[in-house]
Every structure is written in structure tokens, then in C-alpha cells.
Amino acid sequence: MIVIVDYGMGNLRSVAKAVEALEAEVRVSSLPKDIEQADKLILPGVGAFPAAMRELWDRKLVEPIAAALRSGRPYLGICLGLQLLFERSEEGGGAPGFGLLPGFVKRLPSANGLKVPHMGWNQIARARRACPLLEGIPDGSYFYFVHSYYGDPTTYADVTLETDYGTRFASMVWRDNIFATQFHPEKSQALGLRLLRNFIAL
């Protein structure tokens, strides 16, 4: 069973529909017991980092999610679900995250006339060895982004993909069973579905 974590943030339904279209068994839930029993977790999200962490604490979901990740179960973070993995974000004056990956979340620079938030299609470039979620996805492919902040890993080995938008940032991170994308696979048409299918197959 894949559990999509409902913490009141983001586009849960579109992620669930994409996974259901791939004929996987999926449940959208905000219950700690469902997270504890999940085979795989997906944490999507669109919104503010501090508000997201408050919601996760209020719903008593922080420790079940962290425990699931420590147990080795596959995790896919999407957008805010990537950023929350890090130690802290500068958004909203600063807020602590899960601290499961070393690094910090920073605001995209408003450089060279580029608008923030970064919205729309952009290109990915591989930064490290082949990742199982990228099987069948060519280097240089385009994925759909909507974000103003990005995760900046302390350990470059955690960076799987990079993208340029005013700065070069990590558009995908990976460590052991933890995978996360800054882009939205559920909005990225055929290649996004391929990435989700690869996650389901883990």
C-alpha cells in the first residue's frame, strides 16, 4: 500500500489520481497508523514551509514519517515534500524541518529578470550515478515546476538532478530509500508518470 500523506497542504488529489492511473494501491491519509503500516510513502505539498511543519506536528505525523524513513521504506517527496527533508528553511523567518538530509532551504534569486516563483517547464540535468526513479527518462528532459524556494544539500552526493533558474539548484535528491523532486511529476505528463511508475516498482 502506498500512502499519500494528507497534512492539509497541496494537490493531494492530482498525485493520487496519477498513482491510481498506474494501477497501484493507494490511500490518502492523515492518520499516523496508516503511515506506520504503509509500504511506501509519498509526501506532496504546495505552500509555506513553516505552516507545513506546524500542520505535521499538530496532526502527530512528524515522528511516524521519520520512523518510516529510518526503517528503509521508500519515500517520495514532491516539491514541499523535498524541502521538508532538510534541517531548516529561511522561509517565514526560519523554521526547522525533518533534518533527515543535511542542508538548508533557500529562496530563489530574482536574477536576470526571472520571476519568482519559478513556474512552468524546465530542464533537468543528471548530477550523479543512475537513479532507479530515472530509468527510461533521458538526461535533459523537461519537468513542471512551481516553487519559490529550493533545497540546498550540504552533501553533494545527495544531489541527483540539477536545474538552472537564476541559480543552479538541486531538482532531485536521493539518499538510500529517500527520493524527492522539486518538480511535480504528477503535472509532467508521460515522463512524470514514468518516474512515478519507477517509484511504484521499487
Residues with active-site annotation: 79, 184, 186
Report how far residue 100's alpha carbon sits from residue 5's, in angstroms, rounded to the nearest whole number: 17
Report how far residue 77's alpha carbon sits from residue 177's, in angstroms, rounded to the nearest whole number: 11
Three-state SS letters, the chain: CEEEECCCCCCHHHHHHHHHHCCCCEEEECCHHHHHHCCEEEECCCCCHHHHHHHHHHCCCHHHHHHHHHCCCCEEEECHHHHCCEEEECHHHCEECCCCEEEEEEECCCCCCCCCCEEEEEECEECCCCCHHHCCCCCCCEEEEEECEEEEECCHHHEEEEEECCCEEEEEEEECCEEEECCCHHHCHHHHHHHHHHHHCC
